Chains A and B, each alone.
Chain A
Amino acid sequence: MNRLHRRAFLKRAGLSAAVLPFITGLPSLALAAPTRPRQRLIVVFSPNGTIPTEFWPDEAGRAFTLKKILAPLAPHRERMLTLQGVSNRIRGDGDGHMRGMSCLLTAIELLPGNIMGGSGVPAGWASGISIDQEIKNFFQSQANTRTRFGSLEFGVGVQDRADPWTRMSYAGSGKPVAPISDPYQMYEKLYGRTKDRESLRSVLDPLRAELGRVRGLVSAEDRRMLDEHETLVRQLERDLADGTGAAFRHAPPELERGVAAEQNDHVPRLSRMQIDLLVNSLANDMARVATLQYTKSVGGARMNWLGISDGHHGLSHEPDKDEVAQEKLIKINTWFAGEVRYLADKLAATPEPGGGGSMLDHTLIVWTNELGKGNSHTLDNIPFVLVGGGFGFEMGRALKFDKVPHNRLHLALAHGVGHRIETFGKKDLCAGGPLVLA
């Protein structure tokens, strides 16, 4: 039981800290306290499918070998799960990329709408909440898991447009949640108050001098009002001083300046900036759920930094026999794995606030994609890779399923945080209940 939990429990039990020494030895009370350690979920998205032959381990079970694309994650092999055979079986309106993206975390059909894809029927937004938001709401509904933001949605190179190809997070039917792709904007959201407080602090002295000056200009009767005003400024000063006690456990990261969010070639720098902010915000317990979205479904990033000048989406359409394109796609997907590793490394290197191992021990990263394979647009074998811990899953395995609906994976995530819902997304696809990952 960490300190926060204990304090929350004491508060609910109507006991003050003064009686603490008398009750810690009482097993019955200790058992009644919430004992669930802190849990977090991070969903990482990269687009356009993978190259299955260089992604999925050949073996199932504990003894598996990481292939080229997943090789960067080798240091975390013992706390990862590869989930082959999980399918996005949502049909209905919209093309494969649209459903791949907007049904990925919602696991329910798209609304009818006005967006015409490459094929199929035009469609609109997803018709239900996404699993990250579902779990966020679950956390936010309880005092001991509630945080300032609940969830944070990070983007890297996500085009500034809103359609079913660019949104995977949904607060509800027809309510997409936009990721923030500009790290400076995210910084402002996370730490803007800090900047405001600092600015206010620096104008307080001159402000009091001005009030004193004006005080000398007005009549004795009007001075009363200025005196009250001055008292308020002193109060503000005290409030700001009190605030220093609530300083962040982890200081905000220093961001490199002037990295424009919309520039293709900035993606590697933007990725690291966003991951630094993400880990920092979780370390400061501003949220327990986060998403990190690289570009979008049909994302056409040109990875010049890998020596690849073709757009990612265009490449993904090339047939299997095009070996040059295959090599490039492997390189691209390996690069994404490297970013996931950077995230996992950073979490592993940060001690869990309040004790109990590293942050990675309490955080599950779910890395996924809107397609199984780019050139076939299949929604089977969606590349799901889990890294981390805290959800009670038995990690360090390669698992193989037979086209199980991804609804059941989402149910497993919900149950992993103690949110025991019976169905998620499309009900018909929930038969069998949560995937057994323990």
Chain B
Amino acid sequence: MRIPAAARLFGSAAGAALLAACSGPSASTPPSGARIYAAQCATCHGERGQGVAGKYADPLHGDWSQAKLARYVAANMPEDKPESLAPVEAEAVAAFVYDAFYSPVAQARNHPARVELARLTSRQYAIAVADLLRQVGPATADANSAALPATEDATGLAATYYNVAQRGRFDPAKLAHRGTDPVVDFTFPENGGLRARLALPPIDRPPTPNSREPAGFSAQWRGTLLADETGDHEFVIRTPNSVRVWINAEPDGRAGSPPTLDINVSTPTEPDHRVTVRLLGGRRYPIAIDWWALAEKAGSPVVPAISLRWKPPHGSERPIPARNLSTARTAPTFVVATRFPADDASFGYERGTTVSKSWDEAATAAALEVASHVEKRLDRLAGTRAGDPQRAQKAEAFAARFVAAAFRRPLADEERARFVGRWFAAGAEPEAALRHAVLLALKSPQFLYVDVPSPATVASRLSFGLWDSVPDAPLAAAASADELRTREQIAAHAARMTGDPRTRAKLREFFHQWLQIRYVEDLGKDAALFPGFDAALIDDLRTSLDLFIDRIAWGGTGDFRELLKADYLIANDRIARFYGLPAPADGRFARVAAPAGERAGVLTHPYLLAAHSYKAASSPIHRGVFLTRSVVGRRLKSPPMAVAFDEAQFEAGLTMREKVTRLTRGADCQGCHSVINPLGFSLEWYDAAGRFRREEKGRPIDAVSEFLADDRTAVRFGGARDVAEFAASDERAQLAFVEQLFHHFVKQPARAYGPDTLARLRDSFVASGFNLPKLLAEVATFGALGAPAPALLASSQTAPRP
């Protein structure tokens, strides 16, 4: 119940001051928002809304409209005396706050965004080093340079079986079978079956006494392995026999290296052999297996078998699926083992705008690691050999290529002397000279910073923008020929570069961020309530989500709206069975239709629904926060207090919606939950495992809610499809998506590229039919052109002159 404002003012601590300041709501002069703020708000929020430690520490920044802000202030402020301000006072203070520092425009004015000097992020460092070593080394087969085949197409590894087992060798004269194995996961338990088909000898044929003739059988597998994620991959080779495995290493020829895993001796009771290999996601790596099943004595407990398994990041241990294997050949990729400290993500995206001692130590360790790698391979990389009279010159020429690639541009003579020549003085040992050149290059700001002004700046911004990596040969050539001057020239390269697997890898990483599943580790559910929702299904769901995004972005329309509105799922037989969908042909991942109205793209993808759920129940709050921040693109502040969701505090029989409604009905909560809850409730059609349901605890699902749009009109959501329709057509949602994408790719604030950058990007996005690859090219082009000089803000952009 409200009481007259004038009466209450007398009772407030600041009453006297305020009374002097304003003559009451009925007076003709409007109240001063600045004075009310200073008197009643500044103690907690700070003179300029910057926040006060111990009171309300966060700055008063946000994206509510002024009217919404006024309503909130009127209902909730000051905290110790809510509803104590008259409507005109609340409006006045909201207007002041909005214009002075709250609104995005005010924020931009107070803290003009600028393109900051940025060092490589840890991801950029790893990719750049991998690519630059590829560039400067001898030309090799490279399955990574070609566009990837559709990743759901099963291929497998090239297999060759032999009728003999001689550890360390394979006799072509004893060839038994040649073919492609989709997965390597076999046991050879008896003399029929697979063994007969492969024409392999019987298991218990003992070695002829005193004969040098080895019996048994053996096999080789060769091909490439596609890593979906970046990180440590644990490989498990399960065999009671002898095996050698090369992962991201070359087994044969001059570039050959020792096996990653060399298991000569096996124990049948402990057949698992493990090795962890760090891989960069979205790339293909060579994989090779040599396996020997020596003849056993009759009655031996050893059953020849081999299983090639892995535990990728975010996944459980399983045989490596066919979709990650192919018979193509490729050269190894150098993946730096040094761990860098996590990059600053406090802006909502990772960027390299700070340096620290731990970062510098990691950069030193990584530089030493690369130097040692290069030094050991000097002869092969530089195309020379021991005793070559030209060895020192060739090593020096290689060092110069390395430094130029690291700096993304040709070296001037004087630079070549500074970075390379100084170490290769007459009589210098080539290994030591090369080590020094590599160390200096990789510790130099010309390598470590993306944006050091140079003739290569535009090329560098473009390649780091799209790939997190150094420019490729065509881009570097264009930079040298001064052909990256106009917007059209840059845009043409950007369009070409979006087809590269590295852009796909970066886009996938963006979507993991946008869908808030980058750090998801445990999706497990209550086994009694959700039988069948096991680790294997969770792995498949993540694959399904990735394939869904890849298909839309790269294989089909490229239309972002399809990502929100698709009424189908990508499913294999296991997913189809659990979710009651039609089984895909041959059980492999394929598009399957969901019953009409049940699914809406990523919003209702079971992986996301399960990720944003409790163990036993859905979580409208987690789902609502995800939809608010990512899909409809509204900002949320951190909750004012931590509230645990405790099932025990509710009486039995309440639906999840009723519980959440009760838990968040406080005024403190409603500021955000008036947005979060309607969105979260719209997904109540799905249980904690993401299955469609019509009732909860015997009561029909109530997913209908109202969401207040910016203009205060109520939007009715009856389910996920309504949210998807809204998000696809809402301008603020589109702007937020474009902004988040821009930040992930360019790693600089979009506002720094001109006040209308986002609006222009959104316009072209809409005009292109929401085409994702085209948006990426546009974003990268904006990023490459850089921040406009102040005088040019109004006119068209031009690339900076070196």
Contact = CB atoms under 8 A, between A and B. Distances in A.
Interface of A: 111-116, 121-122, 124-125, 161-164, 174, 176, 196, 199-200, 202-203, 206-207, 210-211, 214, 217-219, 221-222, 225-226, 228-229, 232-233, 235-236
A162 B264 contact: yes
B422 A125 contact: no
B368 A196 contact: yes
B268 A162 contact: no
A236 B360 contact: yes
A206 B418 contact: yes
Interface in B267-325: 267-270, 294, 296-297, 300-302
A114 B452 CA distance: 59
B128 interface: no
List the 4 closest A-B pairs by CB distance, nearest first.
Answer: A222-B117, A232-B360, A124-B267, A214-B445
B301 A112 contact: yes
Contacts of A122: 296-297, 300, 302
Interface string B339-374: 000000000000001111100100010001001000
21 contacts: A111-B267, A113-B266, A113-B268, A114-B242, A114-B302, A125-B267, A199-B368, A199-B436, A203-B436, A207-B443, A214-B452, A219-B117, A221-B114, A221-B116, A222-B116, A225-B354, A226-B445, A228-B355, A229-B360, A232-B355, A236-B360
Contact of A214 (B116, B418, B446): B446
A335 B296 CA distance: 40
Given A112-B267, A206-B418, A218 B357 contact: no
Contact of A113 (B262, B267, B452): B267
A114 B114 contact: no
B360 A161 contact: no
Given A222-B117, A228-B354, 13 more contacts: A111-B270, A113-B268, A114-B240, A114-B266, A114-B268, A114-B296, A122-B302, A162-B263, A199-B368, A210-B445, A232-B360, A233-B360, A235-B357
Contacts of B300: 122
A217 B453 contact: yes
B241 interface: yes
Contact of A112 (B207, B269, B355, B436): B269
Interface residues of B, number: 48
A236 B353 CA distance: 20
Contact of A207 (B119, B368, B444, B452): B444
Contacts of B241: 114
Interface in B218-265: 240-242, 262-265
Interface string B89-125: 0000000000000000000000000101101000000
Given A122-B296, A203-B436, A218 B360 contact: no
Contacts of B267: 111-114, 124-125, 174
B449 A214 contact: yes
A111 B301 CA distance: 13
B646 to A, nearest CB: 45
B126 interface: no
Contact of A199 (B242, B354, B418, B439): B439
B605 to A, nearest CB: 40
A129 to B, nearest CB: 16
B440 interface: yes
B435 interface: yes
B266 A218 contact: no
B439 A116 contact: no
Contacts of B353: 225
B175 to A, nearest CB: 23
Contacts of B270: 111, 174
Contacts of A114: 240-242, 265-268, 294, 296, 302
Contacts of B432: 199
Given A196-B368, A214-B449, A206 B422 contact: yes
Contacts of A210: 440, 444-446
A163 B264 contact: yes
B492 to A, nearest CB: 28
Contact of B265 (A163, A222, A228): A163
A214 B436 CA distance: 20
B435 to A, nearest CB: 6
A162 B264 CA distance: 6
Residue from the set A121, A203, A222, A228 with the largest chain B CB neighbour count within 10 Å: A203
Contacts of A221: 114, 116
A124 B360 contact: no
A162 B262 contact: yes
A218 B355 contact: no
B372 to A, nearest CB: 8
B355 A225 contact: yes
B220 to A, nearest CB: 18
Interface in B422-480: 422, 432, 435-436, 439-440, 443-446, 449, 452-453
Contacts of A219: 117
Contacts of B302: 114, 122
A176 B267 CA distance: 13
Given A122-B296, A122-B300, A228-B355, A113 B265 contact: yes
